[in-house]
Structures are given as structure tokens and as C-alpha cells.
Amino acid sequence: MYKVFVNEKKLTISKYPGDIEKKLRFEGFATLEIAVDLLENTSCPELNIYGDEIEEIWEDFTHMFKVIEAAGGIVHNSKGEILFIRRLGKWDLAKGKIEKGESLEQAALREIEEETGLKELILEEFLNTTFHIYTERNGDRILKTTYWFSVEYVGDKAPVPQTEEGISEVCWKNEEEIKNTVWGNTFQNIKLIINQYWSLS
């Protein structure tokens, strides 16, 4: 199963129809175009495309977009707090594009270090991949694929925001603070990956 966010609305690609109101059986490329159009241009809140060959559907879907790959991490400390960045008014997790020749792990650690200023990082395990779609100023339609890792911070320095990347704040938050302050002002992908992290911890 694949979950992709289109304008913060969930598109699920699965083998069987899900228990949601709007679902389309995969009948070829046009089904994918219709689904994305509905999520981008109507009030449809979520949509499910289903068919027997999920990987073939996914391959067709990725061909609709320019794919950009990124890596990032859920950084936690000894108190069980999670490190958040605030970028352009939204709470987010440290992440960024994978550079040529980098492994996913190297990219995740580099981006965390650059965006938060923290260096004493221990990469733990791969968590999952998230997907979202957006349109660049030049009209290119992007499918951003982000690979997430669990990362432990073992130092004692205060984080420093990378202001030239539009980051205004970096801070640690416990579960209660996340639910009270982050949840109302973040992205669906971030909620998805944090909930998964919590379910594993």
C-alpha cells in the first residue's frame, strides 16, 4: 500500500478498496490523472485507487511526476523529546534532498546537522518512506519521496536554526507539547511518521 499526500489530502494506492467514500478501480493511466485532479481541484478529502498490481500502478503513478528524493530523521534525546524545526511558519522535521553519491543515511545525518547545528547524532533504524506532491514555480509537478530514520542525539548543546533555509526555530518537544502545539500546524506526512515512530517506541 502507498499513501501519497496531494494538497494535504490522502491518496491511497492499494490492492483492495478501502473503507472510504471515494474509490476508483485502476483502469489505466487516466484513473491516476482523474484521482490527482479530484484531490487538487475539488473538495474531495481523500481517495483510494485499487487494483491487483500495486507495483505496476505505482510505477505508472511515478511517471506522472519528476521524482525528488530526500532523507531526514526523527531526532530524540534522553528525555524522549523529539526535535522540531519551524520553517515558514510550519512545524517540521529536519530533512533535505539527497546529494549525488550520498547514501540515504549520510543524507539524513547531514541534513539534520545542517538544519539544527547538532552533531552528536547516532543513526538508529530506518522507519519508513513518505510521499507528497507539489508544483514548483516553473510548473514542474514533483513527487517528493522522503526516507525517514530514527536518530538519537547524545550531546548537550542547544540546537541552532539554519536561518538561510527559512528555519526560524529549532526546539525539543515532548509528546504533550507535540499534540498541543505541533499537531495543529504541521503536515500530514509528519503526523504519519511520528505516529509510526511512537508505535515502535
The answer to whether 24 and 49 are in contact (CB under 8 A) is yes
pLDDT tens per residue across span 143-169 = 999 999 999 999 999 999 999 999 999
Average pLDDT of the chain is 96
Task: Tell me the mean pLDDT in the region 24-36.
Answer: 96
Measured at the CA of 100, the angle between CA 112 and CA 116, to 5 degrees, comes to 10
**What proportion of the chain, given as a percentage, has pLDDT over 90?**
95
In sequence order, which residues have a C-beta less than 8 Å from that of residue 178 and are 6 or more positions away? Answer: 82, 84, 194
The answer to whether 145 and 70 are in contact (CB under 8 A) is yes
C-alpha span between 196 and 199 (Å, rounded): 5
C-alpha span between 108 and 155 (Å, rounded): 18
- pTM (2 d.p.): 0.93
Q: Does residue 201 have a pLDDT over 90? A: no
Q: How confident is the model at residue 79 (pLDDT cuts 50, 70, 90)?
A: very high
In sequence order, which residues have a C-beta less than 8 Å from that of residue 188 and are 6 or more positions away? Answer: 5, 8, 10, 132
